[in-house]
Amino acid sequence: MSLIVQKYGGTSVGNPDRIRNVARRILETQRSGNDIVAVVSAMSGVTDNLIKLARQVATSPVERELDMLLATGEQVTIALTAMAIHDLGGHAVSLTGAQAGILTDSVHTRAKIAQLLPKPIHSLLAAGNIVIVAGFQGKTSEGQVTTLGRGGSDLTAIALAAAIQADLCQIFTDVDGVYTCDPRIVKNARKIAEISYDEMLEMASLGSKVMQARSVEFAKKFGVVFEVRSTFNEERGTLVKEATDSMEKVVIRGVSVDRNQAKVTITQVPDKPGTASRIFNQIAAINVNVDTIVQNVSEAGTTDISFTTHADELPKIEKYLDPVVQEIEAKGFTAKGGIAKLSVVGIGMRSHSGVAAKMFEILALAGINIQMISTSEIKISVIIDENRVDEGAKLVHAGFGPQMNLDQ
In the complex, what is the shortest distance from the CB of residue 286 to a copy of itself, in angstroms, rounded to a whole number? 25
Residue among 57 and 297 whose Cβ is closer to a copy of itself? 57
Max intra-chain CA distance, the chain: 77
Residue among 143 and 367 whose Cβ is closer to a copy of itself? 143
Nearest residue to 169 (alpha-carbon basis) of 227, 117, 222:
227
Sheet holding 379-385, edge to edge: 290-295, 302-310, 254-270, 332-345, 379-385, 372-376
Residue among 20 and 263 whose Cβ is closer to a copy of itself? 20
In the complex, what is the shortest distance from the CB of residue 246 to a copy of itself, in angstroms, rounded to a whole number? 43
As a whole number of angstroms, the distance between CA 37 and CA 257 comes to: 34
CA 46 to chain centre: 20
Residue among 116 and 279 whose Cβ is closer to a copy of itself? 116
Segment (H or E) for 231: none
Residue among 18 and 220 whose Cβ is closer to a copy of itself? 18
Residue among 37 and 250 whose Cβ is closer to a copy of itself? 37
352 and 251 in contact (C-beta within 8 Å)?
Answer: yes
Residue among 47 and 180 whose Cβ is closer to a copy of itself? 47
Residues facing 137 on adjacent strands: 147
In the complex, what is the shortest distance from the CB of residue 111 to a copy of itself, in angstroms, rounded to a whole number? 16
In the complex, what is the shortest distance from the CB of residue 25 to a copy of itself, in angstroms, rounded to a whole number? 14
As a whole number of angstroms, the distance between CA 317 and CA 333 comes to: 10
* Residues belonging to the chain: 408
Residue among 139 and 241 whose Cβ is closer to a copy of itself? 139
Segment (H or E) for 277: helix 275-285
As a whole number of angstroms, the distance between CA 291 and CA 307 comes to: 7
In the complex, what is the shortest distance from the CB of residue 142 to a copy of itself, in angstroms, rounded to a whole number? 10
Structure letter (DSSP) for residue 272: -
145 and 110 in contact (C-beta within 8 Å)?
Answer: no
Segment (H or E) for 140: none
Enumerate binding residues for a copy of itself (CB under 8 A).
Answer: 16, 19-20, 23, 50, 53-54, 56-62, 64-66, 68-69, 71-72, 75-76, 78-84, 86-87, 93-94, 96, 99, 143, 145
In the complex, what is the shortest distance from the CB of residue 212 to a copy of itself, in angstroms, rounded to a whole number? 24
In the complex, what is the shortest distance from the CB of residue 83 to a copy of itself, in angstroms, rounded to a whole number? 4
Residue among 69 and 162 whose Cβ is closer to a copy of itself? 69
Positions of E strands within 198-328: 226-230, 238-241, 254-270, 290-295, 302-310
In the complex, what is the shortest distance from the CB of residue 50 to a copy of itself, in angstroms, rounded to a whole number? 7
CA 49 to chain centre: 22
SS3 379: strand
At 377, give phi and psi (nearest 5°).
Answer: -65, -30
187 and 398 in contact (C-beta within 8 Å)?
Answer: no
In the complex, what is the shortest distance from the CB of residue 147 to a copy of itself, in angstroms, rounded to a whole number? 12
In the complex, what is the shortest distance from the CB of residue 170 to a copy of itself, in angstroms, rounded to a whole number? 22
Nearest residue to 27 (alpha-carbon basis) of 96, 80, 100, 82:
82
Residue among 60 and 408 whose Cβ is closer to a copy of itself? 60
